[in-house]
């Protein structure tokens, strides 16, 4: 008889805990503010969220490195420059860079761009960015929220680290925006285009 | 002699009671755990207003299917792969050439009929990341304001009650 009492009481307590868990789980709702993208005159500071990590992306530095590697574009040696640019490949700041050139007629380059992909293992994960001395926080401290906003390129399955980084940036009074990237999609930066034929996307902060 | 017989017949065997108790509680535990795991694996993301004067039209955006929620009516709009690959390469300049599914087109027309008060609010699931830039370009080409938020692949998305008044 005492065994039955103990058994019944134990299972009863377990049931209570589980019912409580179910009721709590049913109400597990994450609330976010309505996002609305708006144009901004502020400088765009880029970051990439990929493979559960965040990496700062400085296009200026990568473009400069690309210019240094491919040489200066000269009107009478465009074909030579284009061939050199097509072979461009280097690694910098946690990214792998590949040069591409599209030709209009023969050897005349129509557009040159760099394709940017994150190196394996580069960047800081959720735990690291939360720490006081992370490079993510250091960069935030080096720019003014009045002059810049933070823009994230987010790859699938890196939403948790994006949420964390976004929260840190917003706590530091920065406006934030983001853009969804396809799993195999690379970031491209047009570095040379004599004719602006296509209207690009207007992107901005969403808070 | 008769006393001894009474003591034997009054004996109450607890084993069947415990067995029934354990079986019942075992079933209840299984049901409870199943419900708990279901609730835990499908969280709800609720988007709440922030004082914006515009009314959002919620579009749940994932690969192959988008769901438009308007006046508490959810319209599921399927896509096919050919349309998706076509959408992948469009820019704001050529976005007008894309033929959208009629129901999605109608939803965007509804928003663009009063762009001062309406905008498109996308809940973007990971499978829809790749094609979203095309949809974004289409909205910009039609002068539709957009907001977009990343949500998990299995997440449910709801708008706060105050905001579900339908587009004006």
Q: Supply the DSSP string of chain A, one letter for each residue.
A: -HHHHHHHHHHHHHHHHHHHHHHHHHT-EEEEEPP------SEEEEEEEETTEEEEE-HHHHHHHHHHHH----GGGHHHHHHHHHT-EEEETTEEEEEEEEEEETTEEEEEEEEEEEPTT-SB-HHHHHSTT-HHHHHHHHS-TTTEEEEEEE-TT-HHHHHHHHHHHHHTT--EEEEE--TT--EEEEEE-SS--SPPPP-----
Domain count for chain B, please give it. Answer: 2
pTM of the model: 0.77
In angstroms, rounded to a whole number, what is the distance separating the alpha carbons of residues A164 and A53? 10
B contact test, residue of A7, A30, A35, A207 with most B CBs within 10 A = A35
Identify the DSSP state of B151.
Answer: -
Which residues does chain A have within 8 Å of residue B87's beta carbon, measured at their own beta carbons? none
Tokens representing B49 are 């207003």
Answer whether residue B31 is part of any domain: yes
Instruction: Output the domain CATH number for residue B61.
Output: 3.30.420
Nearest to B147 by CA among B78, B45, B79, B58: B58
Residues 60-79 of B with CB under 8 A from A: none
Q: How many residue contacts between A and B have a Cβ separation below 8 Å? A: 137
Residue B120, C-beta contacts closer than 8 angstroms, at least 6 positions apart: B56, B57, B59, B108, B111, B139, B144, B145, B146, B147
Confidence of residue B166 (pLDDT cuts 50, 70, 90): very low
What pLDDT is recorded for position B124? 92
Residue A45 pairs in a beta bridge with A150
Q: Over chain B, what is the mean pLDDT? A: 76
Q: What is the pLDDT along chain A (207 residues), one digit of tens a residue?
A: 666 677 677 777 777 776 776 666 555 677 777 788 888 889 999 999 999 999 999 998 998 888 888 777 766 777 778 888 888 899 999 999 999 888 777 777 778 889 999 999 899 999 999 898 899 999 999 999 999 999 999 999 898 999 999 999 999 999 999 999 988 888 888 887 776 555 667 788 887
Tokens representing A195 are 């004719």
Identify the three-state secondary structure at position B93.
Answer: coil
Quick one: B17 and B89 in the same domain?
no
Identify the DSSP state of B74.
Answer: E
Residues 30-59 of A with CB under 8 A from B: 30-37
- CB pair distance less than 8 Å for B47 and A33: yes
Tokens representing A52 are 């559960």
Task: Tell whether B46 lies on the interface with A, counting CB pairs under 8 A.
Answer: yes
Quick one: B90 and B24 in the same domain?
no
In angstroms, rounded to a whole number, what is the distance separating the alpha carbons of residues B85 and A76? 39
Quick one: B54 and B37 in the same domain?
no
Tell me the ipTM for this assembly.
0.77
What pLDDT is recorded for position A53? 95
Task: Tell whether A196 lies on the interface with B, counting CB pairs under 8 A.
Answer: no
In angstroms, rounded to a whole number, what is the distance separating the alpha carbons of residues A29 and B155? 10
Tokens representing A32 are 């976010």
Residue in chain B lying closest to A205 (CA): B147
In angstroms, rounded to a whole number, what is the distance separating the alpha carbons of residues A155 and A153? 7
* Closest-CA distance of chain A to residue B145, Å: 7
- CB pair distance less than 8 Å for A15 and B45: no
Does the structure show a pLDDT above 60 at B85? no
Quick one: B52 and B28 in the same domain?
no
Answer whether residue B168 is part of any domain: no
* Closest-CA distance of chain A to residue B5, Å: 22
Quick one: B70 and B136 in the same domain?
yes
* Closest-CA distance of chain B to residue A103, Å: 18
Which residues does chain A have within 8 Å of residue B163's beta carbon, measured at their own beta carbons? 34
Nearest-5° angle of CA A97, CA A102, CA A108?
Answer: 125
Does the structure show a pLDDT above 70 at B149? yes
Quick one: B71 and B133 in the same domain?
yes
Quick one: B76 and B136 in the same domain?
yes
Which residues does chain B have within 8 Å of residue A30's beta carbon, measured at their own beta carbons? 43-46
- Residue among A15, A36, A159 minimizing CB distance to B150: A159
Q: Where are the domains of chain A?
A: 1-28, 43-192
Residue B103 sits in which domain range?
45-163
Whole-Å CA distances, B43 to B8, B46, B104: 58, 10, 26
Does the structure show a pLDDT above 50 at B165? no
Residue B69 CA, distance from chain mean position: 10
Which residues does chain B have within 8 Å of residue A28's beta carbon, measured at their own beta carbons? 39-40, 43-44
Quick one: B100 and B28 in the same domain?
no
Which residues does chain A have within 8 Å of residue B117's beta carbon, measured at their own beta carbons? none
Task: Tell whether B19 lies on the interface with A, counting CB pairs under 8 A.
Answer: no
Does the structure show a pLDDT above 80 at B44? no
Instruction: Say if residues A18 and B39 touch (Cβ distance below 8 Å).
Output: no
Quick one: B59 and B140 in the same domain?
yes
A27 CB-side CA count, 13 A: 5
Answer whether residue B15 is part of any domain: yes
Confidence of residue B137 (pLDDT cuts 50, 70, 90): confident
Residues 148-177 of A with CB under 8 A from B: 154-157, 159, 162
Sole residue written with tokens 């994932």 = B62
Task: Tell whether A60 lies on the interface with B, counting CB pairs under 8 A.
Answer: no
Tokens representing A21 are 């868990």
């Amino acid at each position: 008889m005492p065994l039955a009492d103990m058994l019944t009481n134990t299972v009863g307590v377990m049931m209570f805990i589980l019912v409580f868990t179910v009721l709590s789980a049913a109400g597990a709702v994450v609330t976010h503010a309505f996002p609305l993208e708006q144009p901004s005159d502020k400088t765009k500071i880029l970051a990439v969220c990929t493979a559960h990590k965040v990496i700062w992306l400085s296009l200026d530095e990568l473009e400069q490195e690309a210019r240094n590697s491919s040489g200066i574009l000269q009107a009478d040696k465009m074909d030579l420059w284009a061939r050199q640019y097509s072979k461009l490949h280097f690694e910098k700041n946690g990214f792998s860079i590949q040069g591409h050139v599209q030709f209009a007629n023969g050897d005349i380059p129509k557009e040159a761009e760099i394709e940017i992909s994150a190196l394996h293992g580069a960047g800081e994960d959720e735990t690291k960015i939360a720490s006081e001395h992370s490079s993510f926080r250091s960069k935030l401290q080096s720019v003014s929220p009045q002059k810049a906003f933070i823009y994230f390129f987010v790859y699938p399955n890196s939403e948790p680290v994006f949420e964390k980084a976004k929260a840190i940036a917003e706590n530091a009074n920065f406006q934030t925006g983001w853009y969804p990237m396809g799993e195999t999609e690379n970031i491209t930066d047009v570095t040379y285009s004599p004719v602006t034929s296509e209207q690009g996307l207007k992107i901005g902060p969403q808070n | 002699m008769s006393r001894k017989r009474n003591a034997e017949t009054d004996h109450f065997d607890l084993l069947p009671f415990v067995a029934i108790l354990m079986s019942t509680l075992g079933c209840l535990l299984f049901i409870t755990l199943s419900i708990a795991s279901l609730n835990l694996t499908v969280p709800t993301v609720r988007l709440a207003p922030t004082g914006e004067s515009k009314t959002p039209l919620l579009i749940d955006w994932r690969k192959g299917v988008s769901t438009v929620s308007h006046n508490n009516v959810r319209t599921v709009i399927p896509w096919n792969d050919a349309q998706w690959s076509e959408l992948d390469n469009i820019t704001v300049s050529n976005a007008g050439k894309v033929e959208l599914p009629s129901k999605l087109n109608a939803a965007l027309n509804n928003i663009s009929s009063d762009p001062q008060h309406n905008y498109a609010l996308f809940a973007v699931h990971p499978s829809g990341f790749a094609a979203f830039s095309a949809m974004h370009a289409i909205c910009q080409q039609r002068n539709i304001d957009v907001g977009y938020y990343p949500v998990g692949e299995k997440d449910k998305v709801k708008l706060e009650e105050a905001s579900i008044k339908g587009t004006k």
